[in-house]
Structures are given as structure tokens and as C-alpha cells.
Amino acid sequence: MSKIKVSPSVPTNIDVEKIKENHVRLGVYPYEKGYAISVAHPLRRLLLSATVGYAPVGIQIEGVKHEFDSVRGMLEDVAEFIINLKNIRFKLKDPEAEEATIEYSFEGPKELRGADLSNETVEVVTPDNFLATLNEDAKLNFTIIIKKGIGYVPSELIRDELPEGFIALDAFFTPVKKAVYEIENVLVEDNPNYEKIVFDIETDGQVDPVEALKMALGVLKSQMAIFDGDLNVIESTGATADVSANTIFFEPLDILNLGARSYNSLEKAGVQYVGELLLMDKKELKSIKNLGKKSVDEIEEKLADLGVDVSSMSEAEKEAVLQKIQSLKDNA
């Protein structure tokens, strides 16, 4: 085989092994050395952040005014009931539907589980998950709004979209429970340095893991499609223009896939864009209210994954980025 190439080899093999229901292992190979991680890492991020799922975003319970209330005859208080509800995973039966409002009515004595919430509109993919315990005097009437979406949306951002009387819920749309990969070496002819990606993907049942991977691939292709058109070259007027062209500064925090606690603390502090975090020193970060050490460590780890070095930026360059971010906020 010639040692001189004019283009990298393209992988030709893909193996799919079903581990159990909604859990697969995929092997893709052979990749040139260094190419496997370039493909695997963005796909993993998109699997976790861009796979479409369903979640309850609001609930109205008859006789209940707020989430710290209680329901006569129900063992659990409303706050615990809501936590249990968010652990139940729904799937709209109409694949084209993006939203559904569903009414439920139950009488005790009864132990409610996910299976009790399945009907002609929704399928519950976690039928055994516990919801509530009703005694013989209980009557539980409630309505939930289920929406299709991606990622995580805190209740604060949902509240204004709900009808009056509904309690907003944190929406965990992501149906992917696990998405990890390993890079293995494979032998191609006499070369042992080719690589193989081994993906381990598990979902909650809202979507098949192979379909989830296809979704991630579709999102990746759509994000790259802009480069297929004409690239208008603009002469640089200085370093500030180059820095401002780095779009990672102006991406919303969602792309970091932070945990709920970290995300909520940053949102309440008015931090909306990645650039604000990149240009914030550790002392400023620690000073954000309700942001503990664990959250600070998580944020720093996510920022490190971006590989953006701001140490060489001038104060003028930093100010230009922050001014552009402020403009984005003002025009939102």
C-alpha cells in the first residue's frame, strides 16, 4: 500500500450490537490516526444535548394553588408528587405533535405508577415508575402539558408560556441516558495505528439509540452546512475583528450542557453567553450567588473542554466581546 495519500481513508465498517432494550454498542472503523476522536467527541455532545425528547412542562392540580400544597387523601405532598412526575418519561404517539394537554382523574385506594398515565395520546416508556399513593378517600384530578424539545429548560423560562393556574416544571427533554465512547486501535493491512470508535448509547425509550445517533448526525451536518456555500472573505481590520469572529463567545450557555443547579445560578446572575464565563476570572465566578464549589468545578471543566485560550487577549478585545454580548442581550 502506498505511503503517500492525497486524502484520508474513509471508514467502511459499522457494527451494531444490541446490549438490551434501548441500549446498543456501535463500532465504526477504520479511521486514520487522530480522526476518530474528532468525530466521536462532537457526536457525543450532540447526543446529550440535541436529541429530541418529551417532558411535562406544566401541571394543574384541582384544589392546589402552589407546589408546596397538599392533596387530601394523597400520601405524598405536591412537591414530592411533582418530583415523581418528572421521573416519568412520556412519548407523544403522534410523531408530528409538538405539544399535548392531558387530563387525568383517579380515585383511591390506589398506587399510581407510570402505566396509569398511558392513554390514546401518550405512551409512558417508564411504566413501573412510582407516582403517588391514594387512600380510599382520595380524589386526584390533574392536567399536564407535555412538550417536545431538546436539552434542559428551567421552569423560570417556561412559566410565562403556561396558562393561568399551571405550575411550571423544569423540563428534562433529553432521552439519552448514557453516551460514551472509546477509541481502539485496529490493524489495517500492516498498519496498527488505525482507529475504531466504540459508542455505548442508552436511551430511556422515548427514542431508539440508533435513531438518537442519526439525530445527532443530522444536527452535526446542519451545523456544518453553512460552509458549503460561498465564503465571503473580509479583510481583517485588527485583532479585535478576529476575536469577535470567534462565535463560541456568543453561544448560549445551553451548549455547555450544565447541571440544573449551575445553570439556574448563572441564569439568575444574568449570565447568558459562553463568552461571559470565558472572560470571567475564578474570583468573579465564585462570587456568583448560590454557586458552590461543585458547580464552579463543573463550569471550569466544561470551559476547558472548549479549548479556548483567552490569556493572550487584550483588554480592548475582551471589551469588544462583552459589548457584542450586551448587544445580543439588548436585542433579545
> Exposed, middle or buried, 324 (CB in 10 Å: 0-12/13-18/19+)?
middle
pLDDT digits (tens, 9 = 90+) for 193-214: 899 999 999 999 999 999 999 9
Please tell me the predicted confidence (pLDDT) of residue 36: 93
Domains and CATH numbers, the chain: 7-51+174-223 (3.30.1360.10), 53-172 (2.170.120.12), 234-332 (1.10.150.20)
96 vs 22, 48, 92, 118, 279, CA distance in Å? 22, 22, 9, 18, 41
Dihedral (CA of 304, 308, 311, 317) sign:
negative
* Residues 61/155, Cβ–Cβ less than 8 Å: no
Please tell me the predicted confidence (pLDDT) of residue 11: 93
Q: Is the peptide bond before 30 cis (omega within 30 degrees of 0)?
A: yes
Q: Mean of the pLDDT values across residues 18-42? A: 93
C-alpha cell at 136: 380510599
Please tell me the predicted confidence (pLDDT) of residue 241: 42
- pTM, rounded to two decimals: 0.66
First to last CA, the chain: 56
CA distance 174 to 149: 8
Please tell me the predicted confidence (pLDDT) of residue 316: 80
Indicate the average pLDDT of the chain: 89
